[in-house]
């Protein structure tokens, strides 16, 4: 077997998607509470008020992780739960402290993400991510968490997928807080980068020196016509990767967006702050993206809603077409393409040879059905995981430094704008009762972990 010593086998979740207990123990509302309670924003009007009720069932969930045999668990901390009104909430912190202790007792390394999209609503009302002060509030929150949990957390991740926060949240508006303004999207992206840099500094200063520090991106693995690829790569990938790795913002990105903004929101010294040392880069992969340059005449193609008339999250790429891809798709409508994961890892290695990587999310939504015998035969999910694990292993065999793999997700959960309709879990959740049931894929993943690979 070719995976390195100490390779982390994990599963991932996020606070708002699983916890519920939205009004308990002084938790304040986040932008996702406000957004999901606004009619028309999520499928069926679903909210995270109860979700999988993990806030009450966490012991049972940790027991399932131990039974699965994972060596790491990637979860996120709810900022409005631990710092409602900007002050530390002991009860909120205690929840994560108990969780971390239980993980460690079971030999599971805690991989904690500080921000998986649940900005305190009060900070959105003060301007949200397009407001520079939000980055400083985030650094204060990071410092508090480092002091509270830093003696026990194995890996810290500042942000999950800042592309989604900035551009789905502020440019296309399909995610909270639902604003549709391209300049707000770009400004938010910069302030998220800055927040990462400022928080990283606080985490390094206060957390255990053996902890690793990271950020998780969702690099878009692009295929298609080179000019379209270049444009999308600039505003979706290099806008984060380049400043994070000390290269500053790419000149072609500044040019592509010059008609919108002069980037005056970037202040002297910001790029240096953003380039804080990274021990590992987390990458989430679900599917590749196929792009062409629009000929200006044909009816616009579009692989999904936000590309048909609605505001695009790809700011400055209005003449790019996102093409349908042939072959099988998951219940998200995303193509199944394991080779894309291998190519993405190789591409990152080519562009950033010294940067260790970790696959912090990979998985698939399917319309799972509980059979009369109570079994959930999700062979399609097993095939997806098997093929993607094999693709990751090929990349490792070619020399890519991959430190871990986290299946998305441990449990079925609140899938953002799609509510409870799309199920990504290894473990099925009956939302009427909260009951958990292992899908065939959970049994398969347990076997894969114990043998150290997909087959
Ligand atoms: C990621 N897109 O979200 C998130 O990190 C998870 O919380 C989420 O449940 C998972 O992937 C599955 O969706 C994404 O539109 C949501 O490009 C949307 C996009 C990408 C990632």
Range of the domain at 424: 8-450
Q: Which listed residue (131, 321, 361, 415) is catalytic?
A: 361
Residue 455 falls inside a structural domain: no
Indicate which residue's Cα is closest to atom 12 of ligand 1: 415
Q: Report CA(154)–ligand 1 centroid distance (Å).
A: 24
Ligand 1 pocket, CB under 6 A = 14, 17, 160-161, 164, 218, 284, 361, 408, 415, 424
Residue 47 falls inside a structural domain: yes
Residues with Cβ within 8 Å of residue 33, at least 6 apart in sequence: 22, 47, 48, 49, 121
CATH number at residue 280: 3.20.20.80
Residue 22 falls inside a structural domain: yes
Helix/strand/coil for 449: helix
Are the CB atoms for 344 and 219 separated by under 8 Å?
Answer: yes
44: DSSP letter = G
Residue 247 falls inside a structural domain: yes
Q: Which listed residue (161, 271, 321, 415) is catalytic?
A: 161
Q: Report angle CA 426, 432, 436 to the nearest 5 degrees.
A: 30
Q: Report CA(118)–ligand 1 centroid distance (Å).
A: 14
Residue whose structure tokens are 């108990």: 98
Residue 311 falls inside a structural domain: yes
Are the CB atoms for 283 and 219 separated by under 8 Å?
Answer: yes
Q: Report CA(412)–ligand 1 centroid distance (Å).
A: 14
Q: Report CA(241)–ligand 1 centroid distance (Å).
A: 18
Query: Would you write out the chain's pLDDT as a tens digit for each of its 455 residues?
Result: 579 999 999 999 999 999 999 999 999 999 999 999 999 999 999 999 999 999 999 999 999 999 999 999 999 999 999 999 999 999 999 999 999 999 999 999 999 999 999 999 999 999 999 999 999 999 999 999 999 999 999 999 999 999 999 999 999 999 999 999 999 999 999 999 999 999 999 999 999 999 999 999 999 999 999 999 999 999 999 999 999 999 999 999 999 999 999 999 999 999 999 999 999 999 999 999 999 998 777 766 554 444 445 789 999 998 899 998 999 999 999 999 999 999 999 999 999 999 999 999 999 999 999 999 999 999 999 999 999 999 999 999 999 999 999 999 999 999 999 999 999 999 999 999 999 999 999 999 999 999 998 98
Record the pTM: 0.97
ipTM for the whole complex: 0.90
Residue 1 falls inside a structural domain: no
Indicate which residue's Cα is closest to atom 17 of ligand 1: 164
Number of domains present in the structure of the chain: 1
Residue 259 falls inside a structural domain: yes
Q: For residue 354, how many other CB atoms are within 10 A of its CB?
A: 8
Give yes or no: 161 in active site: yes
Helix/strand/coil for 411: strand
DSSP secondary structure string for all residues of 292-341: EE--SSSPPP-SSGGGTTSPPSSTT-TTEEE----S-B-TTS-B--THHH
Indicate which residue's Cα is closest to atom 16 of ligand 1: 164
Residue 429 falls inside a structural domain: yes
Give yes or no: 361 in active site: yes
Q: Report CA(291)–ligand 1 centroid distance (Å).
A: 19
Residue whose structure tokens are 């900035």: 166
Indicate which residue's Cα is closest to atom 14 of ligand 1: 164
């Amino acid at each position: 077997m070719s995976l390195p010593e100490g390779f982390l086998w994990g599963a991932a979740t996020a606070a708002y998607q699983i916890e519920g207990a939205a009004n308990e123990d002084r938790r304040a509302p986040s932008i996702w509470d406000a957004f999901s309670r606004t009619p028309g924003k999520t499928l069926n009007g679903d909210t995270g008020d109860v979700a999988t009720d993990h806030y009450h069932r966490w012991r049972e969930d940790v027991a399932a992780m131990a039974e699965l045999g994972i060596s790491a668990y990637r979860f996120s901390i709810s900022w409005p739960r631990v710092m409602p009104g900007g002050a530390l909430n002991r009860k909120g912190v205690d929840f994560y402290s108990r969780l971390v202790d239980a993980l460690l007792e079971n030999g599971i390394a805690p991989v904690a993400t500080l921000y998986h999209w649940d900005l305190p609503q009060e900070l959105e009302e003060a301007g949200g991510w397009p407001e520079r002060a939000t980055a400083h509030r985030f650094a204060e929150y990071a410092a508090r968490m480092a002091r509270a949990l830093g003696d026990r957390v194995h890996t810290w991740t500042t942000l999950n997928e800042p592309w989604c926060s900035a551009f789905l949240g502020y440019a296309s508006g399909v995610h909270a807080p639902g604003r549709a303004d391209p300049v707000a999207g770009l400004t938010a992206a910069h302030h998220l980068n800055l927040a990462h840099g400022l928080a990283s500094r606080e985490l390094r200063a206060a957390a255990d020196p053996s902890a690793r520090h990271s950020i998780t991106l969702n690099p878009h693995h692009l295929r298609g016509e080179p000019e379209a690829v270049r444009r999308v790569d600039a505003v979706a990938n290099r806008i984060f990767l380049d400043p994070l790795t000390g290269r500053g913002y790419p000149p072609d990105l500044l040019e592509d967006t010059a008609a919108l903004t002069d980037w005056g929101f970037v202040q002297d010294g910001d790029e240096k702050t953003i380039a804080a040392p990274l021990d590992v880069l987390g990458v989430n992969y679900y599917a590749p993206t196929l792009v062409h340059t629009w000929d200006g005449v044909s009816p616009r193609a579009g692989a999904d809603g936000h590309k048909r008339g609605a505001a695009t999250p790809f700011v400055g790429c209005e003449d790019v077409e996102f093409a349908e891809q042939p072959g099988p798709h998951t219940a998200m409508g995303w193509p199944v393409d394991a080779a894309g994961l291998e190519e993405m890892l190789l591409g990152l290695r080519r562009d950033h040879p010294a940067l260790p990587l970790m696959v912090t999310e990979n998985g698939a939504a399917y319309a799972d059905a509980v059979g009369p015998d109570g079994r959930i035969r999700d062979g399609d999910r097993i095939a997806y995981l098997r093929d993607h694990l094999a693709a990751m292993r090929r990349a490792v065999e070619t020399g890519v430094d991959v430190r871990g793999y986290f299946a998305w997700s441990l449990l079925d959960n609140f899938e953002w704008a799609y509510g409870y309709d799309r199920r990504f879990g290894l473990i099925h959740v009956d939302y009427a009762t909260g009951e958990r049931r292992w899908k065939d894929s959970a049994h398969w993943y347990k076997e894969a972990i114990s043998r150290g690979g997909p087959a």
